[in-house]
């Protein structure tokens, strides 16, 4: 999604060339001001200037030129503003104001008369800014006109005529590296029909897309509508695939989605170059971006020692990236997957030396390692993301679910309790709500263990529950992409199967928010929007690939799998006292002695069969195993 490194490489110029460009542009702006100051002063004297006045005009012009040149050179060398943007013009106005102030200051010390007429610097400043603005406008217009006549230009139709559509249009018009020429906009707001934005007309609504494309000859569609409904996106992708039209998307701005804040038109440069990207899997959800209380998150992260378990995994790695933005005093990452830790360090630091003391390789299933880890690191906050999460594997090997998801989590909790850790956030799953699977039961049992230790200590120990994460390892979307790339078939469990989905960014931001507002012993359940049909999602992935001959095959529900996941158990209430997207659920603590008995039995008996382990799990979480589909091997069938 992000093009930061690529863009930087393309934008960075050699130092000598940057200095020359800064000198040239600063000299032009300073020269324009000096010319107008001279001209306005002469005009004020009716072109009849005595020799003493020439000296004053000369001194003022030199002073103004030098001040503006120095200020403009510094601003342009640092590359603070986009060329020809409103921000650049405002910065130039600031430099010119300083120059005028210096001229007036020097004039104040003249015993008889000012260096120049008092109106001249102000008039010169106004004329200079008008000239610069006109030249920039003229240059931009000529460049865009040349591009529109070029054979290589792609005719683009912008979908969306709101703030995002205007931003997309501004990018197309102002970035010399963009290959697009805007031929029109479409928007579902009927009041915008025939509206002109930057000289480009709104030609209709999305329902008129076929007709508008035929009339304009558009070769590309630029999506500039935040949270476009999935059904609308399906229609657009199908139409684009049918007519061999490229679909591009207005991406994120400065790493934060532009939907989350007001965007100044001059901020368009932040997206240049390579401003538009292709449609990605995240776009298939079509949801509004979430909002978080950044100040509340910062208050409990800033300056603290934070430990993340499972830091090499999909969620753990992204969580570390998000945490680093809030400047913890120390961010310690642990995992037993050395390759995962290597990848996380590379993302966070740009290096992969593996020499940092904040990277700790170890297995949370080893009690000695856990206690050594907590006693050495002395974390203020622990985010526990390490877990086994593949439903089918854990149905086949429930002992592994107990050893990792339950035993390791409980021993980590006890170590945190013993060493005085005040904040503990356990990453759970929506499968823990009325669990029918070993995965769900093991995570719900851990939620109850967290509640038990929270009640014992009074510390802010809590769980956070959410569903499938787009792009994570093992995600159904990743499976679909692989299957489509191979030509199919795409396997779907059942026609009516639905799941909750979130992007990694949504999940991690709400995990951090939950950590800021959660109370001891609670499970915080994230609002993941509406359930998404697995079949519809598969069809969107196929449409996104541009292939039309990929078959969908139904495999049936796997053991422990639900047709539709739920956010909350039937007995849990949807109460959101602190955040509109976070439900806070009190969890009944479990008897930890009973949990330890289960752990000892699983660890100590090699003869304990999978069905018995699942039955004991069900008893502990209060769920009957009668609803758990038996594995084929247990039914005696091949």
User: Which residue numbers are catalytic?
Assistant: 431
Specify whether the backbone of 84 is left (phi greater than 0), alpha (psi in -120 to 50) or beta.
left
String of DSSP letters for 163-177: HHHHHHHHHHHH-TT
| Host H or E run for residue 434 | none
| Host H or E run for residue 424 | strand 423-427
Distances (CA, A) of 381 to 313, 331, 417, 425, 459: 19, 10, 12, 8, 11
**Residues in contact with 181: Cβ distance below 8 Å, sequence separation at least 6, in sequence order:** 144, 147, 148, 153, 154, 155, 156, 172
Hey, is 290 helix, strand or coil?
Answer: coil
User: Taking the CA of residue 346 as centre, how many other CA atoms within 13 Å lie in the half-sphere pointing to its CB?
Assistant: 8
**Residues in contact with 116: Cβ distance below 8 Å, sequence separation at least 6, in sequence order:** 37, 41, 44, 56, 57, 60, 103, 107
Residue 39 CB burial class (10 angstroms; 0-12, 13-18, ≥19): middle
What distance in Å separates the CA atoms of residue 479 and residue 508, rounded to the nearest whole number? 22
Residue 202 CB burial class (10 angstroms; 0-12, 13-18, ≥19): buried
| Host H or E run for residue 156 | strand 154-159
**Is the peptide bond preceding residue 545 cis, with omega within 30 degrees of 0?**
no
DSSP 404: I
């Amino acid at each position: 999604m992000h093009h930061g490194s690529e863009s930087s490489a393309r934008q960075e110029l050699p130092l000598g060339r940057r200095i020359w460009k800064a000198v040239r542009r600063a000299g032009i702006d300073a020269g324009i001001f000096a010319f107008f100051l001279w001209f306005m002063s002469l005009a004020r004297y009716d072109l009849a200037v005595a020799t003493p006045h020439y000296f004053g005009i000369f001194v003022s012009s030199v002073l103004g030129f030098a001040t503006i040149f120095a200020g403009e050179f510094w601003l342009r060398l640092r590359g603070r503003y986009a060329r020809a943007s409103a921000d650049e013009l405002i910065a130039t106005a600031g430099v010119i104001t300083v120059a005028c102030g210096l001229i007036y200051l020097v004039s104040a010390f003249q015993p008889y008369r000012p260096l120049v007429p008092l109106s001249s610097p102000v008039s010169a400043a106004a004329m200079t800014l008008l000239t610069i603005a006109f030249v920039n406008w003229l240059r931009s217009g000529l460049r865009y006109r040349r591009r529109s006549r070029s054979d290589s230009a792609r005719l683009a139709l912008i979908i969306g005529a709101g703030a995002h559509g205007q931003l997309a249009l501004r990018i197309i018009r102002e970035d010399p590296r963009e290959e697009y020429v805007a031929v029109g906009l479409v928007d579902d707001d009927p009041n915008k029909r025939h509206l002109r934005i930057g000289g480009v007309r709104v030609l209709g609504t999305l329902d008129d897309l076929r007709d508008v494309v035929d009339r304009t000859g558009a070769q590309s569609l630029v999506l500039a509508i935040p949270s476009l409904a999935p059904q609308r996106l399906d229609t657009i992708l199908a139409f684009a695939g049918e007519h061999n039209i490229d679909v591009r998307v207005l991406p994120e701005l400065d790493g934060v989605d532009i939907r989350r804040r007001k965007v100044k038109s001059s901020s368009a440069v932040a997206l240049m170059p390579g401003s538009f990207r292709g449609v990605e899997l995240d776009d298939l959800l079509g949801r509004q971006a979430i909002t978080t209380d950044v100040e509340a998150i910062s208050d409990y992260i800033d300056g603290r020692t934070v430990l993340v378990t499972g830091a090499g995994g999909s969620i753990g790695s992204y969580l570390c990236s998000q945490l680093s933005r809030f400047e913890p005093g120390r961010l310690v990452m642990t995992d037993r997957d050395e390759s995962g830790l290597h990848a996380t360090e590379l993302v966070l630091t740009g290096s992969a030396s593996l020499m940092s003391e904040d990277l700790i390789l170890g297995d949370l299933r080893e009690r000695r390692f856990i206690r050594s880890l907590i006693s050495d690191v002395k974390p203020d906050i622990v985010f526990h993301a390490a877990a086994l999460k593949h439903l089918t594997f854990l149905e086949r090997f429930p002992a592994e679910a107990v050893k990792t998801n339950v035993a390791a989590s409980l021993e980590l909790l006890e170590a945190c309790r013993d060493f005085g850790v005040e904040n503990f956030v356990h990453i759970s799953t929506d499968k823990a709500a009325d669990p029918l699977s070993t995965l769900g039961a093991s995570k719900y049992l851990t939620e109850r263990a967290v509640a038990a230790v929270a009640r014992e200590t009074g510390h802010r120990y809590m769980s956070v529950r959410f569903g499938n994460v787009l792009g994570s390892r093992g995600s159904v979307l990743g499976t679909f992409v692989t299957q489509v790339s191979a030509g199919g078939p795409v396997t779907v469990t059942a026609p009516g199967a639905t799941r909750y989905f979130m992007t990694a960014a949504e999940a991690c931001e709400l995990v951090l928010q939950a950590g800021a507002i959660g109370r001891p012993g609670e499970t915080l359940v994230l609002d993941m929007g509406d359930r998404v049909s697995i079949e519809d999602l598969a069809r969107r992935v196929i449409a996104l690939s541009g292939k039309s001959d990929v078959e969908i095959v139904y495999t049936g529900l796997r053991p422990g799998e639900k047709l539709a996941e739920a956010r909350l158990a039937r007995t849990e209430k949807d109460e959101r006292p602190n955040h509109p997207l976070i439900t806070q659920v009190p969890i009944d603590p479990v008897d930890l002695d009973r949990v330890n008995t289960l752990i000892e039995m699983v660890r100590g008996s090699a003869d304990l069969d999978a069905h018995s382990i699942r039955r004991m799990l069900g008893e502990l979480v209060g769920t009957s195993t009668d609803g758990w589909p038996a594995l084929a091997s247990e039914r005696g069938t091949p």
